[in-house]
Structure 1
Amino acid sequence: MARAGGSLTRRGLRGREAELEELQALIASVARTGSGGLVLIQGEPGIGKSTLLAEVVSGARAAGFSVGVGKADELHHIVPLSSLAACVLHGDQPLLSGDAFADLARNHDQRIWLVERLAEAIEARAGSVPVLIGLDDVQWADPLSRFALKQLPTRLRTSPVLWLLTARRDPSGPAEEVVAAATGNLPTVTVPLGPLSGAAIDQLVGDTLGAAVDERVRDLLDGAGGNPFLAVEMLAGLRTAEASDELVPPGLVVGVRGRLRSLQPGTLRFLQMGAVLGRSFGFHAAAALCGRPAATLIEALEEAVRAGLLDDDGDHLAFRHDLLRQAVYVDIPPSARKALHREAAHHLVSAGHQPIDAVPHILRGALHGDEEAVGLLQRAADDVLSVTPGLAADLMTRALELVPPALPLRFTVGERTILSLTRAGRNREALLAGDRLLAGRPPLEVFSRLQAALGGALWNMDLAGELRRRAETALAMGGATPEIGARLAALHALALSRDQDLVAAREAGEAALRAATAVGDREAHILALSGLGEIAQNASENAVALGRFAALSAIDSAFLPEEVVAHLHMDDFEAGERLLSQAADHAGATRQAMMLWAQGQHDLGLGRLDDADAGFMTMERLEDEVQIPVQQVNGRVIRSRIALLRGDREAALEHLVAARERLAAKPNPGNTAAVRFLEAVHAEADGDIGLAVDKIRQVQRQGVFMRWRLLRDWVDSAIRMALRGAEHALAEDLAAQAQAHARRNAAVPTATGIAAQALGLVKNDLAMLERSAELLKASPRPLVRAAAYADLGQALLAAGRKRQAVAALTHARGTFAESGAHAAAARVQHALEGAGAGSHGAAAKQRPVRPVHGWGALTASEQKVARLVAAGHTNRSAAELLVVSPHTVNTHLTSVFHKLSINSRVQLANLVMTLPDS
Structure 2
Amino acid sequence: MAGSGGPLSHRGLRGREAELARLQALIGSVADTGSGGLALIQGEPGIGKTTLLAEAAARAAAAGFSVGLGKAEELHHIVPLSSLAASVLHGDRPLLSGDDLADLARNHDQRIWLVERLAEAIEARATDAPVLIGLDDVQWADALSRFALQQLPTRLRTSPVLWLLTGRREPAGPAEEIVAAAAGNLATVTVSLGPLSGAAIGQLADDTLGPAVDAWVRDLLDGAGGNPFLAVEMLAGLRSTDVPRDVVPSRLVVGVRGRLRSLQPGTLRFLQMGAVLGRRFDFEDAAALCDQPAAALLPALEEAVCAGLLDDDGDHLVFRHDLLRQAVYADIPPSARKALHRAAARRLVTAGRQPIDAVPHILRGAVPGDEEAVALLRRAADDVLAVTPGPAADLMLRALELVPSSGQLKFEVGEQTILCLARAGRNREALETGDRLLADRPPLETFGRLQSALGGALWTMDLAEELRRRAEAALAAGGSAPEICARLAALRALALSRGRDLGVAREAGETALRTATAIGDREAHVLALSGLGEIALNAGENAVALQRFAALSTIDSAFLPEEVVAHVHVDDFASAERLLLRAAEGGGAVRQAMLLWAQGQHDLGLGRLDDAEADFVTMERLEDEVRVPVQQLNGRVIRSRIALLRGHREAARENLLAAREHLAVKPNAGNTAAVSFLEAVHAEADGDVALAVDRIRRVQQQGPFLRWRLLRDWVDAAVRMALRAGERELAEDLAAQAEAHAGRNPAVPTAAGIAVQARGLVRNDPAVLAHAVDLLGASPRPLTRAAAHADLGLALLAAGRRSPAVAALALARDTFAESGAHAAAAHVQRALEGAGGESRRAATVRRPVQGWGALTASEEKVARLIAQGHTNRSAADVLVVSPHTVNTHLTSVFRKLSIGSRVQLANLVATLPEVPDLSGA
User: Aligned partners of 1:724 and 1:845: how far apart in 2?
Assistant: 29
SS of match in other structure, 2:247: coil
SS of match in other structure, 1:93: coil
The residue aligned with 1:916 is 913
User: Aligned partners of 2:280 and 2:910: how far apart in 1?
Assistant: 51
The residue aligned with 1:67 is 67
Aligned residues of 1:82 and 1:142 also touching (Cα < 8 A)? yes
Query: How far off its partner does 1:142 sit?
Result: 0.4
Q: Structure 2 matches for 1:389-788, cutoff 5 A?
A: 389-788=389-788
User: Aligned partners of 1:149 and 1:782: how far apart in 2?
Assistant: 41
Query: How far off its partner does 1:113 sit?
Result: 0.6
1:101-153 CA distance string (max 9 Å, x none):
11111111100011011111111111001110000000000000000000000
Q: Structure 2 matches for 1:219-230, cutoff 5 A?
A: 219-230=219-230
Q: Structure 2 matches for 1:154-303, cutoff 5 A?
A: 154-240=154-240, 242-243=242-243, 247-303=247-303
SS of match in other structure, 1:255: helix
The residue aligned with 1:876 is 873
User: Aligned partners of 1:413 and 1:588: how far apart in 2?
Assistant: 28
Query: How far off its partner does 1:831 sit?
Result: 1.2
Aligned residues of 1:10 and 1:207 also touching (Cα < 8 A)? no
1:854-874 CA distance string (max 9 Å, x none):
222212221221121111111
Aligned residues of 1:241 and 1:247 also touching (Cα < 8 A)? no
User: Aligned partners of 2:143 and 2:679: how far apart in 1?
Assistant: 40
The residue aligned with 2:864 is 867
User: Aligned partners of 1:251 and 1:106: how far apart in 2?
Assistant: 47
1:817-852 CA distance string (max 9 Å, x none):
111111011111111122122xx12x2346543222
User: Aligned partners of 2:130 and 2:245: how far apart in 1?
Assistant: 53
Relative to 1, partners in 2 of residues 1:384 and 1:11: Cα closer, same or farther, differing over 3 Å? closer
Aligned residues of 2:822 and 2:846 also touching (Cα < 8 A)? no
User: Aligned partners of 2:447 and 2:519: how far apart in 1?
Assistant: 20
SS of match in other structure, 1:779: coil
The residue aligned with 2:23 is 23
Which amino acid is the alignment partner of residue 342 of structure 2? R
The residue aligned with 1:361 is 361
The residue aligned with 1:134 is 134
1:773-802 CA distance string (max 9 Å, x none):
111111111111111111111111121111
SS of match in other structure, 1:551: helix
The residue aligned with 2:804 is 804
Aligned residues of 2:4 and 2:240 also touching (Cα < 8 A)? no
RMSD: 1.2
Which amino acid is the alignment partner of residue 682 of structure 2? H
State percent identity of aligned pairs. 78
Bigger mean CA deviation after superposition, 653-662 or 617-626 = 653-662
User: Aligned partners of 1:720 and 1:726: how far apart in 2?
Assistant: 10
Which amino acid is the alignment partner of residue 864 of structure 1? K
The residue aligned with 2:900 is 903
The residue aligned with 1:323 is 323
Query: How far off its partner does 1:663 sit?
Result: 1.8
The residue aligned with 2:9 is 10
| TM-score using structure 1 length | 0.98
User: Aligned partners of 2:77 and 2:550: how far apart in 1?
Assistant: 41
Of the three residues 888, 893, 906, the one matched with 2:890 is 893
Which amino acid is the alignment partner of residue 253 of structure 1? V
User: Aligned partners of 2:23 and 2:711: how far apart in 1?
Assistant: 56
Which amino acid is the alignment partner of residue 898 of structure 2? S
Aligned residues of 2:452 and 2:488 also touching (Cα < 8 A)? yes
User: Aligned partners of 1:4 and 1:490: how far apart in 2?
Assistant: 68
Query: How far off its partner does 1:3 sit?
Result: 4.0
SS of match in other structure, 1:254: helix
Aligned residues of 2:45 and 2:323 also touching (Cα < 8 A)? yes
User: Aligned partners of 1:776 and 1:87: how far apart in 2?
Assistant: 56
Which amino acid is the alignment partner of residue 636 of structure 2? R
Which amino acid is the alignment partner of residue 804 of structure 1? P
In the alignment of these two chains, the number of paired residues is 914
The residue aligned with 2:37 is 37
1:33-85 CA distance string (max 9 Å, x none):
11110000000000000010011011111111100000001111111000011
Aligned residues of 1:5 and 1:305 also touching (Cα < 8 A)? no
User: Aligned partners of 2:445 and 2:407: how far apart in 1?
Assistant: 16
Which amino acid is the alignment partner of residue 897 of structure 2? L
SS of match in other structure, 2:906: helix
* 1:111 aligns to 2:111 (yes or no): yes
Which amino acid is the alignment partner of residue 906 of structure 1? V
Aligned residues of 1:6 and 1:306 also touching (Cα < 8 A)? no
Aligned residues of 2:287 and 2:294 also touching (Cα < 8 A)? yes
SS of match in other structure, 2:134: strand
Bigger mean CA deviation after superposition, 33-42 or 872-881 = 872-881
Bigger mean CA deviation after superposition, 455-464 or 892-901 = 892-901
Query: How far off its partner does 1:545 sit?
Result: 0.7
| TM-score using structure 2 length | 0.98
User: Aligned partners of 1:650 and 1:812: how far apart in 2?
Assistant: 25
1:794-820 CA distance string (max 9 Å, x none):
111121111121111111111111111
Bigger mean CA deviation after superposition, 381-390 or 878-887 = 878-887
Query: How far off its partner does 1:735 sit?
Result: 1.5
1:247-300 CA distance string (max 9 Å, x none):
111121111110000000000000000000001101000001111111000000
Q: Which runs of 5+ in 1 are unaligned?
A: none
Bigger mean CA deviation after superposition, 651-660 or 359-368 = 651-660
Which amino acid is the alignment partner of residue 310 of structure 2? L
User: Aligned partners of 1:620 and 1:232: how far apart in 2?
Assistant: 50
Which amino acid is the alignment partner of residue 379 of structure 1? R
Which amino acid is the alignment partner of residue 688 of structure 1? D
Q: Which runs of 5+ in 2 are unaligned?
A: 916-921
User: Aligned partners of 1:330 and 1:382: how far apart in 2?
Assistant: 33
SS of match in other structure, 1:326: helix
Which amino acid is the alignment partner of residue 48 of structure 1? G
SS of match in other structure, 1:176: helix
Relative to 1, partners in 2 of residues 1:11 and 1:804: Cα closer, same or farther, differing over 3 Å? closer
Bigger mean CA deviation after superposition, 211-220 or 408-417 = 211-220
Aligned residues of 1:348 and 1:357 also touching (Cα < 8 A)? yes
1:611-635 CA distance string (max 9 Å, x none):
1101111111111110101111111
Which amino acid is the alignment partner of residue 354 of structure 1? Q
Aligned residues of 2:4 and 2:239 also touching (Cα < 8 A)? no
Query: How far off its partner does 1:31 sit?
Result: 0.8
Aligned residues of 2:826 and 2:844 also touching (Cα < 8 A)? no
User: Aligned partners of 1:234 and 1:888: how far apart in 2?
Assistant: 56
Bigger mean CA deviation after superposition, 892-901 or 181-190 = 892-901
Which amino acid is the alignment partner of residue 480 of structure 2? A
Which amino acid is the alignment partner of residue 902 of structure 1? I
Query: How far off its partner does 1:310 sit?
Result: 0.6
Aligned residues of 1:133 and 1:162 also touching (Cα < 8 A)? yes
User: Aligned partners of 1:220 and 1:418: how far apart in 2?
Assistant: 57
Query: How far off its partner does 1:238 sit?
Result: 2.9
User: Aligned partners of 1:11 and 1:497: how far apart in 2?
Assistant: 70
Which amino acid is the alignment partner of residue 585 of structure 2? D
Query: How far off its partner does 1:236 sit?
Result: 2.1
The residue aligned with 2:341 is 341
Query: How far off its partner does 1:589 sit?
Result: 2.6
